[in-house]
Amino acid sequence: MTSSTAARPPGRPRSGVNDVVFAATLRTVHELGYARATVERIAAAAGIAKTTIYRRWPTKGALIVDCLLDAFGPVPLEGGSRAEIMSSAIRWTAGKIGEPGVGDAFAGVFSDGVSDPELREILSSRLQDPYRLALQDALGEPEHRVLFLIDVVVGTLLHRMGMTGEPMVDDDVDALVEMVLPFFR
């Protein structure tokens, strides 16, 4: 065993509070909204110091992206036909965005990215790309078609969330599936 698992570095090890921080982030965003969920409040909710957060994530945006990655996890792409795969992926996305705090955090960090190219890059490469690649693979569609699909699905769900403050109801998610599927058959 020469080096594969990287011997523990010297010094005091980091306390394993990442999960606590993610939970505190979603809870705080859910209760106070994105803008009022300050890093200080998130740290307090997690029971740690603000500086500890900034030691692990360079910016608030990076923290939120990591938190969303943790909340979403890998997209389930089971299902036989292309239609079943797409349908279940859309419903899965809608369900995740509807979980308390997730939609607000997503819309908020997305908004911040509008005027922050570095955050946009993080958002695109760390959050969008993995799902884009998985979808390209599962659906056999070219990149630009999958990007378009993501624009439609995520854009629609976030617009509803941003405009009403509530996630999209199931009937409208059904309509979204019904509208998207024929176009990608």
**Under the rule (CB under 7 A), what is the footprint of DNA?**
8-15, 17, 35-40, 47-52, 54-56, 58-61
Partner from a copy of itself, DNA, none binding residue 104, C-beta < 5-8 Å depending on class: a copy of itself
Cα–Cα distance between 21 and 86 in angstroms, integer? 32
Is 43 a binding residue for a copy of itself by CB under 8 A? The answer is: no
Could you say which of 50, 128, 134, 141 contacts a copy of itself (CB under 8 A)? Answer: 128
Q: What are phi and psi of 128, to 5 degrees?
A: -80, -45
Is 156 a binding residue for a copy of itself by CB under 8 A? The answer is: yes
Q: What are phi and psi of 112, to 5 degrees?
A: -60, -35
Kindly determine how many residues on this chain lie close enough to bind a copy of itself according to the rule CB under 8 A: 46
Q: Which residues contact 73 (CB under 8 A, 6 or more apart)?
A: none
41, two tokens: 């409040």
Cα–Cα distance between 78 and 156 in angstroms, integer? 23
80, two tokens: 């036989």
165, two tokens: 């403050």
Which residue reads 């599927």 in tokens? 181
Could you say which of 21, 104, 135, 167 contacts a copy of itself (CB under 8 A)? Answer: 104
Cα–Cα distance between 77 and 70 in angstroms, integer? 18
CB of 34 or CB of 131, closer to DNA: 34
Is 16 a binding residue for a copy of itself by CB under 8 A? The answer is: no
Convert residues 162-181 into a mask of x (bound to a copy of itself by CB under 8 A) and - (unbound). xxxx--x---x--xx-xxx-
One-letter identity of residue 131:
Y
Stretch that binds a copy of itself, among 13-21, 50-58, 61-69, 146-154 (CB under 8 A): 146-154
Residues that bind a copy of itself (CB under 8 A): 33-37, 104, 107-108, 110-117, 120, 123-124, 128, 144, 148, 150-152, 154-165, 168, 172, 175-176, 178-180, 182-183
